[in-house]
Amino acid sequence: MNFDIFSNRMVLKNSPVAFWQWGISFFLTLLLLGGCSSTSPEVHCAGESGLAYSAATDSLSYEKFLDLPAITQENRRAQSRFWLDRFEDANSSNVQIQALLNAAGLAPDNPRIWLQLAHYWRWLGNYLKTVQCLESAAEAIRGFEPGDHKWDKREMQRRTAMARAWVHYDRGEWHEGLNWARAARKVAPGDAEVWQIYGLLAGHSRLRSEAFKTADDILRLDPGDTDVPWIQASYRVGNGDRRQAFNLVMGLNPNKEHQAECWREMGEIAERLAEHSMASRWYEESASSLPFRDKSCVLKMRHDRLNAEIGGHRQLVWLAYDKYYITGSLSSYTSLAFRRFQKSEEGTRKNFWAGQVVNSTGILIRKEMDKPWAYRARGLVFAYGGKINRGIRDLKQASELMDDLGYPDSEIESTLGHLYLQKKNHRDALRHLQYAAEISPNEPRIWQDMGLAWVMSNQPHQAEESFSKALALDASLVTSWYNRGLLNLHQKNYDKALLDLQKAAQLAPDNQDIVDLLQKAHALAKKH
């Protein structure tokens, strides 16, 4: 592979009680770095002499570029070529990306630049930018006039469809990718690279005849082609025959373009079978095949996989800029992202890692890898973000899968209980909270939520008992003092209510809801 541009979560009022609202809304998209729009390149190199335009300020959309006079377009293309020369000469990945952004902003009608940028963003793990760049490439290609021989339109169409197919392949979106591979076949039916991605996606889509026919066609042309066992293994993976897939690639030594992807999938096959030493070896090979001149932005680490709590093996993973997944164990990357999400303060950083968890768990689920833990992590992130229905859906899946494995999880059950409380569904809330309390009887917040569920069920005795258990475990729970005080107030136990609300006010002196209720309790106590 090469980079040659010309090649290839304080009070929620809810009568008769109140409880803490811990979900907050956030964006689950990877927008921290913005888009790959031609109208606003992120960076530029200033101070270059002899340049007529500044890429940072003079970047244009494709349509606005076409409105320029022909001589102005040509001048901008010439300056774009200056940045392409900078790209070719640079050894730093950052400088290369900067140069390409400038080149694209100045001459957005050049699909080759957009395709090269898409190639970078894909390998740096930013799929949002990748797709945006590919859309810009397609826009430029659509603008080709009949008889315009500046670029080979069919070749650009082939490259764009292929790039789209590989993005879907990365993300485990087999059918979507297969559609793009079919589009590439229409443009270039005899192209070996098209056969490669088409066969892989057909295999993962469990289309045996299409996958194996493609492999046979490749084999006829080159009996030693390493794509053949890779395609055959992809069908075995898609069909759930992981051991057979492993046997097919055991002696494979991919040496063609896309070898980094092949080594990575080999690592995934081994990881699924708990062949961890072999997975590490193959992931190392994938990392060594990365298409970067400069790997200073690449960080290698070993991290717990998602199922670490049941003895899951630590595995290798490579990140770009200590953020984005490049290669290695996606399970380990997701575990890392989820841990960083949990430890981050509310704000941009937490939202970023939430987005990364949602993205990577989706891929794991589609690839049938660590599904119980992937559903768990994604469901907990959705719960944090106030996505109640999506959180319930994922956590129910996680609950069922964990029970099947014999590993019931109190956080899954307690969060499901909390989400059902938000939907005012006290029956399902109680069911999950009681199960959570069986698993983790010393977790105070489970009893706190259970108290509220009993209140909603009009069972005051059980509610008071649950709040009391919560406070016996953690006397700092303001919500339990407040809710038990409110419950005692409704039960006309004014002395008890005053004691509870006074304690809540001591713990949260600035909370006006507590102050107001305490004043009401004093007035009612004096009256009675």
Average pLDDT, the chain: 87
Q: Residue 520 in contact with residue 492, Cβ under 8 Å?
A: no
Sheet of 298-303: strand order equals 298-303, 315-320, 324-328
Distance of CA 23 to the CA centre of its chain: 19
Under the phi-then-psi rule, with left for phi > 0, alpha for psi from -120 to 50, and beta for the rest, what region is 144?
beta
pLDDT band at 34 (very low <50, low <70, confident <90, very high): very low
pLDDT band at 186 (very low <50, low <70, confident <90, very high): very high
Q: What is the pLDDT of residue 19?
A: 31
Residue with tokens 């305490």: 518
What is the distance between the alpha carbons of residues 76 and 105, in angstroms, rounded to a whole number?
Answer: 9
Segment 25-45 mean pLDDT: 31
Under the phi-then-psi rule, with left for phi > 0, alpha for psi from -120 to 50, and beta for the rest, what region is 276?
alpha
What is the distance between the alpha carbons of residues 204 and 235, in angstroms, rounded to a whole number?
Answer: 5
- Within 8 A by CB and 6+ apart from 38, the residues are 59, 60, 61, 62, 104, 105, 108, 136
Radius of gyration of the chain (CA): 29
Q: Which residues of 248-284 are buried (b: 16+ CB within 10 A; e: fewer)?
A: bbeebebeebbbbbbbbbbbbbbbbeebbebbbebbb
Q: What is the pLDDT of residue 63?
A: 87
Beta carbons within 10 angstroms of residue 387's beta carbon? 21
Determine which of 7-16, 79-88, 434-443 has the lowest per-residue pLDDT on average: 7-16
pLDDT band at 523 (very low <50, low <70, confident <90, very high): confident
Q: What is the pLDDT of residue 148?
A: 58
What is the distance between the alpha carbons of residues 425 and 421, in angstroms, rounded to a whole number?
Answer: 6
Residue 391, SS3 per DSSP: helix
Q: What is the pLDDT of residue 175?
A: 97
What is the distance between the alpha carbons of residues 264 and 428, in angstroms, rounded to a whole number?
Answer: 42
Segment 8-27 mean pLDDT: 30
What is the distance between the alpha carbons of residues 93 and 214, in angstroms, rounded to a whole number?
Answer: 36
pLDDT band at 30 (very low <50, low <70, confident <90, very high): very low
**β-pairing verdict for 324-328 and 298-303:** unpaired
Q: Would you say residue 3 has pLDDT above 50?
A: no
CA atoms within a 13 Å half-sphere pointing along the CA-CB vector of 186: 9
Q: What is the pLDDT of residue 147?
A: 59
Indicate the length of the chain as a whole number. Answer: 528
Q: Would you say residue 151 has pLDDT above 60?
A: yes
Segment 503-507 mean pLDDT: 94
Q: What is the pLDDT of residue 212?
A: 96
Q: What is the pLDDT of residue 521?
A: 87
425-477 tens-digit pLDDT: 999 999 999 999 999 999 999 999 999 999 999 999 999 999 999 999 999 99
Q: Would you say residue 43 has pLDDT above 60?
A: no
Distance of CA 296 to the CA centre of its chain: 23
Beta carbons within 10 angstroms of residue 239's beta carbon? 14
Determine which of 11-20, 99-108, 141-150, 271-280 has the lowest per-residue pLDDT on average: 11-20
What is the distance between the alpha carbons of residues 56 and 233, in angstroms, rounded to a whole number?
Answer: 47
187-223 tens-digit pLDDT: 999 999 999 999 999 999 999 999 999 999 999 988 8
Q: Residue 477 in contact with residue 504, Cβ under 8 Å?
A: no
The secondary structure of 85-134 as a DSSP string is: HHHHH---HHHHHHHHHHHHHH-TT-HHHHHHHHHHHHHTT-HHHHHHHH
Structure token pair of residue 191: 């192209």
Q: Would you say residue 22 has pLDDT above 70?
A: no
Segment 348-375 mean pLDDT: 97
Segment 520-525 mean pLDDT: 86
Q: Would you say residue 9 has pLDDT above 70?
A: no
- Within 8 A by CB and 6+ apart from 129, the residues are 33, 35, 36, 117, 118, 121
What is the distance between the alpha carbons of residues 396 and 408, in angstroms, rounded to a whole number?
Answer: 12
Q: What is the pLDDT of residue 58?
A: 54
What is the distance between the alpha carbons of residues 431 and 433, in angstroms, rounded to a whole number?
Answer: 6
Segment 518-525 mean pLDDT: 87
Q: Would you say residue 4 has pLDDT above 60?
A: no
Segment 171-200 mean pLDDT: 96
Segment 480-484 mean pLDDT: 95
Nearest of 341, 207, 55 to residue 215 by alpha carbon: 207
- Judged on CB neighbours under 10 Å (0-12, 13-18, 19+), 500 is buried
Q: What is the pLDDT of residue 149?
A: 54
Q: Would you say residue 168 has pLDDT above 50?
A: yes
Strands (DSSP E) along 304-375, which ranges? 315-320, 324-328
Q: Would you say residue 262 has pLDDT above 60?
A: yes
Q: What is the pLDDT of residue 418?
A: 97
Segment 228-242 mean pLDDT: 96
Q: Would you say residue 482 has pLDDT above 60?
A: yes
Residue 512: phi and psi, rounded to 5, are -70, -30
Segment 264-270 mean pLDDT: 98
What is the distance between the alpha carbons of residues 68 and 61, in angstroms, rounded to a whole number?
Answer: 11
Q: What is the pLDDT of residue 150?
A: 59
Q: What percent of the chain has pLDDT over 90?
A: 76
Q: Would you say residue 496 has pLDDT above 80?
A: yes
408-436 tens-digit pLDDT: 999 999 999 999 999 999 999 999 999 99
